[in-house]
Structures are given as structure tokens and as C-alpha cells.
Amino acid sequence: MPEKKLTIPDIRNRKNGTPISVLTAYDYPWARMVDAAGIDIVLVGDSLGMVVLGYPDTVSVTMEEMLHHTKAVVRGVERALVVTDLPFGSYNSSLPAAINNATRMLKEGRADAVKLEGGVAMAPVAEAIVRAGIPVQGHIGLTPQTATNLGGFKVQGKSAHAAQQLIEDAMALEEAGCFSIVLEAIPAPLAAHITSRVTIPTIGIGAGAGCDGQVLVIHDLVGFYDRFTPKFVKQYTRLSEPIAAALAQYKAEVENRSFPDETHSFTMKSEEMDKLLELY
Ligand code: KIV
């Protein structure tokens, strides 16, 4: 029997409990594997743009692309909570637009929750979406959609002043009703401190071991994306290597005619073939 689908209260109740495991997925086969592994949250991250669609950053990702991939992921998940990213430009123009786009992610995409980037400045947006009945996950620290403003893909909150801002960001998102917050690329002691200051779970990525959960981009974890590997990524395997070997072997076997062999071909009765040759 499939395990019970996880809910927002299940995730909230993991504060100070068993750490929450989160991985990204962008399509049906990966979503199935991640879910079957018992990962608690499948995040359809807008990292989609970089690791799947080949964009240079996440800014180019559109609502339609996120919806398309969210639907595929949802079809592959039975137990995990599915959170999907609101892409850049879909929640910062007006509150009605933000609510409308978040609603589409649940209604058309069938996601369980949305994630948005930003702290104090985005708290009113998060609050409006939560009030519309849509669970929201916050994301602070290194926020890739606005990384240019932060001076690039850099560790955030290293000075006491910057750290104080991040604590205020986390508290504002909690106050806005977010059910959890991603903390990206911030010093471990600061992440642990933020985790102790909020009552909702924190999910770290490059934020040390003191968070309530951890998230990684699946393509980084399996060694599928080699354009850029941040320090915080642990590559658990290098799938690109056996895949490259398999592709090279396929090419060689096509060229030397050892593929397809008899086991990969269909037969027909020889008398039928003879009849055909008489006809043509
Ligand atoms: O887009 C994404 O994959 C993310 C994670 C890195 C947290 O936001």
C-alpha cells in the first residue's frame, strides 16, 4: 500500500524532529525515483532553467515552463509534498498577479505549495498568497533570482549587520504565515541561530547542519550538471560517466553493426517473406 501523502502540518511538525529531506525534480522519472527513495519534499526548483533548459540563470524561467514541469513531477509523486517555485516576475508586480500565479501552480500544476524568494520586502506578497489559501515556503540568503543585486552567487550574512537583516527576513516570513524557509548559502552558525529563532522548519542549502532539513539540486547530487558546482554540493555519484560510456558504446555498435543483434530484432515466418519476395 502506498505511504500516506505528506501534508503541510506533517512538515511543520518536523521542527526539532527528524531532519526533513528535500530534493529537486523536474520530470516524471526523476520525481518517481526521488519519491520512492522516501524524500519528504520534492521541489520543482526554478534551477530547472539552468540544469534542464540550458539558460544561464533562473531569471529567464517562465510560468508556463514551471507549470509544464510541475505537472510532470506531480504525476510521479505519491508520498512527498510537492513545492514549486514561483519564477522571477510572477509575484513581484502586484499582489493580484502573485495570487493568480500561485493559484495556477496549485490548480493547473497540482503542486501542494509554492516557494518564493525574498525576506522582509516579499513578506506582504507571501502573506497575501497564504491568505488566499496557498501554502508558501520562503527562501532567503542567496536568492538566485536576484543574485546580481547580491553581487553574484556569494555567501550571504557574513557581517553582523547582514546577519541581522537575515534574521529579520526569516521572522517576517514566519509572521507572514510561511510553513518553512529555505536558507541558502549562509554561514552555519547564523543558519543555526535563525533556526532557533523561528518556529517553522528551516531547510538549508549551503547553510550547515543546524537547519531542520536539507535541500540539494538533484542534478548536482548525481553528477549530471558540470557547468558550475558550488562548494556546498556533495556529489554522491557521477552519473554522467556511465552515461557517456553507454552512449559511446551505442555509437560504436551502430557503426560496426553489432547493434541491433537477433535478441533485439523481430522475426517473421520465412514462407511469408518468400511470398513477399514473389510479389515484389
Ligand atoms: O531552484 C532551486 O532548485 C532552489 C533550491 C536550490 C533551493 O531554489
pLDDT (tens digit per residue) in 116-159: 999 999 999 999 999 999 999 999 999 999 988 887 888 999 99
The span from the CA of 126 to the CA of 177, in Å, is: 7
Q: Are the CB atoms for 182 and 115 separated by under 8 Å?
A: yes
Instruction: Give the per-residue pLDDT at 2.
Output: 62
Tell me which residue has cell 500544476.
109
Q: Check if 41 has its Cβ closer than 6 Å to any atom of ligand 1.
A: no
Instruction: Give the per-residue pLDDT at 153.
Output: 86
Tell me which residue has cell 552512449.
247
Domains along the sequence of the chain with CATH: 8-238 (3.20.20.60), 242-279 (no CATH)
Q: Are the CB atoms for 45 and 80 separated by under 8 Å?
A: no
Q: Check if 215 has its Cβ closer than 6 Å to any atom of ligand 1.
A: yes
Instruction: Give the per-residue pLDDT at 81.
Output: 98
- Least Cα distance to 166 among 144, 145, 148, 184 occurs for 184
Please tell me the residue having the least CA distance from ligand 1 atom 1. 45
The mean pLDDT of 169-175, rounded to a whole number, is: 98
- 108 is an active site residue: no
Instruction: Give the per-residue pLDDT at 212.
Output: 98
CB atoms within 10 A of CB 241: 10
Considering only 48-62, 141-155, 168-182, 259-273, which range has the smallest mean pLDDT? 141-155
The mean pLDDT of 53-80, rounded to a whole number, is: 97
Instruction: Give the per-residue pLDDT at 1.
Output: 54
| The three three-digit cell numbers of residue 186, written as one number | 549562509
Establish how many alpha carbons lie within 13 A of residue 117's alpha carbon, considering only the half-sphere containing its beta carbon: 20
Q: Check if 47 has its Cβ closer than 6 Å to any atom of ligand 1.
A: yes
pTM of the model: 0.95
The span from the CA of 83 to the CA of 248, in Å, is: 37
Please indicate whether residue 2 or residue 267 has the higher confidence score (pLDDT): 267
| The three three-digit cell numbers of residue 30, written as one number | 526523476
- Region of residue 209 (left: phi > 0; alpha: psi -120 to 50; beta: else): alpha
Runs of H (alpha helix) within the chain: 8-12, 28-36, 48-51, 63-76, 95-107, 123-131, 160-176, 188-197, 218-221, 240-255, 270-279
Instruction: Render pLDDT for 223-269 as a digit per residue (tens, 0 to 9).
Output: 987 777 889 999 999 999 999 999 999 999 999 999 999 999 999 99
The mean pLDDT of 57-74, rounded to a whole number, is: 97
